[in-house]
Amino acid sequence: MDTRRNPLITVSELKALLDHSHPLSLLDVRWRFDGSEGLSTFRQGHVPGAVFVDLDRELCGQPSSDGRRPIPDGDRFAGDMRRHGVRAENPVIVYDGADSTSASRAWWLLLYFGHSDVRVLDGGLAAWYEAGHSVEIGDGHKSALGDFQSQPGGMTIVDADTAYAIAESGTLVDARSRSRYEGEAKASDLTGGHIPGAVCIPAEENVRADGTFLPVDQLQRKFRDLGFCRAGIEVGAYCGSGILATHTILTLELAGVKAALYPGSWSHWISDPGRPVARGIRPA
């Protein structure tokens, strides 16, 4: 039986842990596709005790035939996490600016590589500020070396062929915007469209305007109405390069649905000109 805890933590719950000096690792994973967030914003203010994690350097491998932002090497990832103080027996809390887009990537990777207790701060730093809590300025405190080791396999991944099979016989979620799903090509993609049979459920539609996730009962109704809860159905998720899809997987987990990640996502799919591409609208 899967005993994994709620993947989210509230600001009040985190504050209580910090006030009582509960041993934990607190990772700031602020990042945007346009490069507008990162270490500079961390230095301007972060949750006390947090350390900065660079998504592009520490949560992604080098662009390759596996995709634009592939899963990093396990030993390298574990080494980075040890440097940030991550210990196997202590909980890890991850957060970003608000909507959990990049925090979800850290959450997924830590679980995939074997950590058993990882949660995302719902609403991120924006929610921390909204609650009136103070922040630290500067580079943060250097963490004592952790002991985290890489044990891959804690989350399910699928390759291109399996993702295509899920799109045909189960439900494959495309977490990108509707315009990209329908065929708009970005400079980073060159080819627009989607995997035939995939349904478009933009990740941004799973959170409120303030970045907090929709209530669990609302998410459950949403995915039940879309047919996700049918017995025996396989569910997978992909996006442009493997970031947004982890946000969708976290959302589905909140609703009680387990989903596999296609890590290479669209950037890997279109690397083979022999793979089919669909365009236009497919009703969810």
Strand partners, 136: 46
Alpha-carbon separation of residue 111 from 118, 146, 217, 230, 259 (angstroms) = 7, 16, 24, 25, 13
Q: Which of 60, 200, 229, 239 is catalytic?
A: 239
Taking alpha carbons only, the member of 110, 112, 117, 119 closest to residue 156 is 112
Task: With beta carbons less than 8 A apart as the criterion, state whether 102 and 161 touch.
Answer: no
Establish whether 200 is a catalytic residue: no
Strand partners, 206: none
SS3 content of the chain, % helix, strand, coil (to 5): 35, 15, 55
* Sheet order of strands, 199-200 included: 199-200, 171-174, 235-238, 260-261
| DSSP one-letter string for 167-207 | HHHSEEEE-S-HHHHHTPPPTTTSS--B-TT-EE--GGGGB
State which amino acid sits at residue 226: L
Residue corresponding to tokens 């607190």? 26
Taking alpha carbons only, the member of 27, 256, 211, 9 closest to residue 101 is 211
Beta-carbon neighbour count of residue 266 at 10 Å? 30
> What's phi and psi for 149, nearest 5 deg?
-120, 150
Task: Give the residue numbers marked as catalytic.
Answer: 239
